């Protein structure tokens, strides 16, 4: 079963998880950190891997003329039902139903590590960007997906027992506030993403490794992630 099929299998879990206000990092801090990376709204924004549409809806509120793309029929249906005025399309990220050079911004928020053909998807994102257009993405930081803290205390050692430098699939089942979600993703070293950007002809403008902000720390388990990054944010440009 590929990653797209796995996310379709857990679509109902994700919809409930993603739409619980204040439930996960998106609401507490991650969305706001990521939005700082984005340029101002332009003529077209494409949200690749939009899922049930929470970021797509937020981008629309900020003035973006946005098209949402996802490969899960259940998530696309949920995104359309949440706002019938949004343009949400069921499609493979490796074959975007978007015209060449027709967007000035492509967003991939926490989706590239959930796409099997990531390098092909990046080339597609570059294809739909106009000259000077930007690709902004967020991923699970590769150091995060490669290892783990041994304990939940703030000064717990972080250990990588496997190989950081090779790609491998992984799954995490998380329980919080009575909700459960299984995340299926692909670990890739940072080099893999930079190689994909280079092959697509994109130039990196900004890279950030945001930590959990002080206002979102409510336990020692959260404090651990002020020592190491949970996520990686990147902005690239088509010259």
The per-residue pLDDT for range 57-71, each reduced to its tens digit, is: 999 999 999 999 999
With respect to residue 175, please indicate whether it lies within any of the assigned structural domains: no
Range of the domain at 24: 3-140+190-237
- For residue 128, give the CATH number of its domain: 3.40.50.150
Tell me: the pLDDT tens digits for 178-224?
A: 899 999 999 999 999 999 999 999 999 999 999 999 999 989 989 99
Q: What is the 3-state secondary structure (H, E, C) of the chain?
A: CCHHHHHHHCHHHHHHHHCCCCCCHHHHHHHHHHHCCCCCCCCCEEEECCCCCHHHHHHHHCCCCEEEEECCHHHHHHHHHHCCCCEEEECCCCCCCCCCCCEEEEEEECCHHHCCCHHHHHHHHHHHEEEEEEEEEEEECHHHHHCEECCCCCCCCEECCCCCCCCEEEEEEEEECCEEEEEEEEECCHHHHHHHHHHCCCEEEEEECCCCCHHHCCCHHHHHCCCCCCEEEEEEECC
The per-residue pLDDT for range 121-138, each reduced to its tens digit, is 999 999 999 999 999 999
User: Is 59 within a domain?
Assistant: yes
| 11, part of any domain | yes
How many domains, the chain? 1
- Asked, for residue 169, whether it belongs to a domain, the answer is no
> Does any domain span residue 157?
no
Residue 89 is assigned to a structural domain of this protein: yes
Per-residue model confidence as pLDDT tens digits over 68-121:
999 999 999 999 999 999 999 999 999 999 999 999 999 999 999 999 999 999
């Amino acid at each position: 079963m590929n990653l797209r099929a796995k996310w379709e299998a857990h679509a109902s879990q994700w919809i409930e998880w993603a739409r619980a206000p204040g439930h996960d990092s998106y609401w507490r801090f991650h969305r706001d950190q990521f939005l700082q990376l984005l340029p101002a709204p332009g003529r077209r924004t494409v949200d690749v891997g939009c899922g049930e549409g929470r970021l797509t809806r937020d981008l629309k509120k900020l003035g973006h003329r946005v098209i949402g793309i996802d490969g899960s029929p259940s998530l696309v249906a949920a995104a359309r039902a949440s706002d019938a005025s949004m343009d949400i399309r069921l499609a493979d990220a490796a074959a975007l139903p978007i015209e060449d050079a027709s967007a000035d911004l492509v967003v991939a928020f926490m989706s590239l590590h959930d796409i099997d053909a990531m390098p092909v998807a990046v080339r597609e994102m570059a294809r739909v960007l106009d000259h000077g257009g930007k690709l902004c993405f967020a991923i699970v930081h590769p150091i995060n997906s490669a290892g783990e803290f041994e304990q939940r205390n703030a000064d717990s050692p972080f250990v990588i027992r496997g190989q950081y430098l090779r790609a491998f699939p992984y799954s995490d089942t998380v329980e919080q506030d009575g909700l459960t979600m299984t995340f299926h993703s692909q670990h890739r070293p940072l080099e893999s993403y930079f190689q994909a950007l280079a092959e697509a002809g994109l130039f990196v403008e900004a890279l950030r490794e945001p930590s959990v902000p002080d206002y979102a720390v409510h336990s020692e388990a959260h404090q651990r992630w002020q020592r190491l990054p949970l996520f990686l944010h990147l902005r690239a440009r088509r010259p």
